[in-house]
A and B are shown apart, each in its own frame.
Chain A
């Protein structure tokens, strides 16, 4: 094979590489470069349009909720199809925040979800440490037992849990909202999976250095598993924020209500107002959205770390 490249000119005649002059070559570069750029731009444009359509489709319920929350009541209950408010105002929001102590509910939810998150991180990471780094008799059996609890649906235990806490006399307190959720099999499982990818030799090396388990956890394990902790925090916080059944069951007074229960107070048989409810819903979605956006990177990194090396 001879080492001569053959190039096609736009007119279809073939030219050997050596036959091009400097100017011709430069022109060829410009022309082909422009064509490539145009193709790339068209492709990106089509993709963006498609993505926007998909996003609108998926976000429609949420966007419609925002839209409804801005409508005066009479605009919603008509035969016309009102996708957007004609006279948007924030009246619904003002009424939602004044009619019920929404701020108090939000605060309650923050306290409860925050404590549950902290508690779960602590208990789950310690339990997972024992399951992955320590060796003791019956370790696997115990771990299976923990995993088995994931198969018991929450509804099955809710009554017995209620009887337990009511006999403890802690109904209608923060404690009763927090206590039953202080640990979770799912969390233990997630942390353990994460720790399994942790190089054992780091633990062994620390042990030889005379470093105890607690110190190892605090100064080596925790700093290195930040992303797992982040993922776990976001996941737990959102779950705790969205709790409905348990708070409904164990709280009675206005002061102990969490947002999810509080919202439903906006909707009662005397004054059914969907627009008011939507205003409330949109207000309480915001904190969990903020948490999710802030922790999104951590969440994804945490869920997938260990999946591939590096």
Chain B
């Protein structure tokens, strides 16, 4: 177990083509960190650099107190779980799990004890004599995880370990992984493009885009205080709704005037910050689907009314997603199942303005919250 520190790590594949740029992060001992981002954002490359499967072009990688830029993958004492499990097909489950230890010349007795103990913990004791081909996806994944934890490494690296499983099994394994991390307390770095996995598993999430870290924060912080439009749009499903427009003076306070001509009143605090600094500048209002209501529920709150044509209603049982369309674009609202809206008809939604986010129209930065990388 160890702390892992990355300092200005870069990966250059070809001349001046940065796959990862200035990646700085301090991963605390025992922490569960998830790298998340769209494909091609550099999250897997970063993980592979930590593992030693890719060279680090620039910057430093510290594992514990050692500078590990130049260490061979086998010397770093990390173990990795791959998307396709990477089990050796010609070996039994037992041999697969024992492989890393037998390479390290651990005595046979000790290996047997540890394999049995690990198999017990993962509930795969009855599979030890089988070949990987005779296992189901979930069992393979469990064996892969077993092989990884056998060695008691300094950290686990997981590269989209659940993406080959079906939806139900994925949810199940997610819970098991969280439980396992809780039991073992080993530093874990987990790469995924699935924001649900990121939100549910992580102590901290690292959101990446085009090789740059966008924001590092706990799931809740990330959700409530996204530093820019990318993070705001990436985290949360359905995604945050965005409206382009400007702030205008309206009576004593101020209001947000959209490009499509809708007017939303601002709260006092928002007006105070946005007016007059951002007068006449292009802004973006972001609002999460759950902050849209079919009726203004609380008397004391500031609501903005938005009208539009209902394009679809998705009933999810405990809730419903209503999609509406107007001059400003398309919007999704997460509402109670008895919403009463019907596709093809007009409906009004009410924005809970206190929960609205405001971004600069050009830099796309959050005007109320700025995250700085202090690692």
Taking Cβ atoms with an 8 Å cutoff, the residues of A that contact B are 199, 201-202, 204-212, 215, 220, 223-224
B82–A204 contact, CB under 8 A? yes
Q: In the bound complex, what is the Cα–Cα distance between A204 and B103 (angstroms)?
A: 14
Within the complex, which residue of A201, A212, A215, A224 is in contact with B86, where a contact is CB–CB below 8 Å?
A: A201
Of B12-20, B72-80, B236-244, B294-302, which binds chain A? B72-80
Within the complex, which residue of A199, A210, A220, A223 is in contact with B74, where a contact is CB–CB below 8 Å?
A: A210
In the assembled complex, the CB of B47 is this many whole angstroms from the nearest CB of chain A, namely: 11
A222: nearest residue on chain B (CB-CB)?
Answer: B90
B79–A204 contact, CB under 8 A? no
B100–A210 contact, CB under 8 A? yes
30 inter-chain pairs at a CB distance below 8 angstroms, sorted by A residue, are: A199-B86, A201-B82, A201-B83, A201-B86, A202-B86, A202-B88, A204-B53, A204-B73, A204-B80, A204-B86, A205-B82, A207-B53, A207-B74, A208-B73, A208-B74, A208-B76, A208-B78, A208-B80, A209-B103, A210-B75, A210-B103, A210-B104, A211-B99, A211-B100, A211-B103, A212-B74, A220-B88, A224-B88, A224-B89, A224-B90
B53: nearest residue on chain A (CB-CB)?
Answer: A204
Within the complex, which residue of A201, A202, A215 is in contact with B103, where a contact is CB–CB below 8 Å?
A: A215
Name B42-101 residues within 8 Å CB distance of A. 51-53, 72-76, 78-80, 82-84, 86, 88-90, 99-100
Q: In the bound complex, what is the Cα–Cα distance between A149 and B52 (angstroms)?
A: 35
Contacts of A204 in B (CB 8 A): 51, 53, 73, 80, 82, 86
Among all A-B residue pairs, the 5 with the closest Cβ atoms: A210-B74, A209-B100, A205-B86, A201-B86, A201-B82
Q: In the bound complex, what is the Cα–Cα distance between A208 and B155 (angstroms)?
A: 12
Q: In the bound complex, what is the Cα–Cα distance between A209 and B103 (angstroms)?
A: 7
Contacts of A199 in B (CB 8 A): 84, 86
Taking Cβ atoms with an 8 Å cutoff, the residues of B that contact A are 51-53, 72-76, 78-80, 82-84, 86, 88-90, 99-100, 103-104, 151
Q: In the bound complex, what is the Cα–Cα distance between A211 and B75 (angstroms)?
A: 10
B157: nearest residue on chain A (CB-CB)?
Answer: A208
In the assembled complex, the CB of A228 is this many whole angstroms from the nearest CB of chain B, namely: 14
Q: In the bound complex, what is the Cα–Cα distance between A212 and B75 (angstroms)?
A: 11
Q: In the bound complex, what is the Cα–Cα distance between A99 and B35 (angstroms)?
A: 79
Contacts of B75 in A (CB 8 A): 210
Contacts of A220 in B (CB 8 A): 88, 90
In the assembled complex, the CB of B71 is this many whole angstroms from the nearest CB of chain A, namely: 11
Contacts of B88 in A (CB 8 A): 202, 220, 224
Q: In the bound complex, what is the Cα–Cα distance between A224 and B72 (angstroms)?
A: 25
In the assembled complex, the CB of A219 is this many whole angstroms from the nearest CB of chain B, namely: 8
Q: In the bound complex, what is the Cα–Cα distance between A199 and B85 (angstroms)?
A: 10
Q: In the bound complex, what is the Cα–Cα distance between A210 and B76 (angstroms)?
A: 9
- Interface SS of chain B: helix, strand, loop or mixed? loop
A215: nearest residue on chain B (CB-CB)?
Answer: B103
Q: In the bound complex, what is the Cα–Cα distance between A224 and B79 (angstroms)?
A: 23
In the assembled complex, the CB of B41 is this many whole angstroms from the nearest CB of chain A, namely: 20
Q: In the bound complex, what is the Cα–Cα distance between A233 and B151 (angstroms)?
A: 39
- 7 new A-B pairs (CB below 8 Å) besides A199-B84, A204-B86, A211-B103? A206-B99, A207-B74, A208-B51, A208-B53, A208-B79, A209-B100, A210-B74
The residue among A202, A207, A209, A211 with the most chain B CB atoms within 10 A of its own CB is A209
B153: nearest residue on chain A (CB-CB)?
Answer: A208
Contacts of A223 in B (CB 8 A): 90
Contacts of B51 in A (CB 8 A): 204, 208
Q: In the bound complex, what is the Cα–Cα distance between A211 and B158 (angstroms)?
A: 19
Q: In the bound complex, what is the Cα–Cα distance between A121 and B9 (angstroms)?
A: 42
B159: nearest residue on chain A (CB-CB)?
Answer: A201
The residue among A204, A207, A210, A224 with the most chain B CB atoms within 10 A of its own CB is A210
A202: nearest residue on chain B (CB-CB)?
Answer: B86
Contacts of B104 in A (CB 8 A): 210
A211–B82 contact, CB under 8 A? no
In the assembled complex, the CB of A144 is this many whole angstroms from the nearest CB of chain B, namely: 20
- Given A201-B82, A201-B84, A204-B53, verify A209-B90 contact (CB < 8 Å): no
A226: nearest residue on chain B (CB-CB)?
Answer: B90
A210: nearest residue on chain B (CB-CB)?
Answer: B74
A223: nearest residue on chain B (CB-CB)?
Answer: B90
Contacts of B82 in A (CB 8 A): 201, 204-205
Contacts of A224 in B (CB 8 A): 88-90
In the assembled complex, the CB of A266 is this many whole angstroms from the nearest CB of chain B, namely: 48
The residue among A207, A208, A211, A215 with the most chain B CB atoms within 10 A of its own CB is A208
Contacts of B100 in A (CB 8 A): 209-211
A220: nearest residue on chain B (CB-CB)?
Answer: B88
In the assembled complex, the CB of B210 is this many whole angstroms from the nearest CB of chain A, namely: 25
The residue among A199, A201, A211 with the most chain B CB atoms within 10 A of its own CB is A201
Contacts of B151 in A (CB 8 A): 209
Q: In the bound complex, what is the Cα–Cα distance between A154 and B43 (angstroms)?
A: 50
Contacts of A210 in B (CB 8 A): 73-75, 100, 103-104
Q: In the bound complex, what is the Cα–Cα distance between A169 and B218 (angstroms)?
A: 76
In the assembled complex, the CB of A301 is this many whole angstroms from the nearest CB of chain B, namely: 15
B101: nearest residue on chain A (CB-CB)?
Answer: A209
B48: nearest residue on chain A (CB-CB)?
Answer: A204
B78: nearest residue on chain A (CB-CB)?
Answer: A208
Contacts of B78 in A (CB 8 A): 208
Contacts of B74 in A (CB 8 A): 207-212
The residue among A202, A223, A224 with the most chain B CB atoms within 10 A of its own CB is A202
In the assembled complex, the CB of B133 is this many whole angstroms from the nearest CB of chain A, namely: 10
B86–A207 contact, CB under 8 A? no
Q: In the bound complex, what is the Cα–Cα distance between A223 and B131 (angstroms)?
A: 14
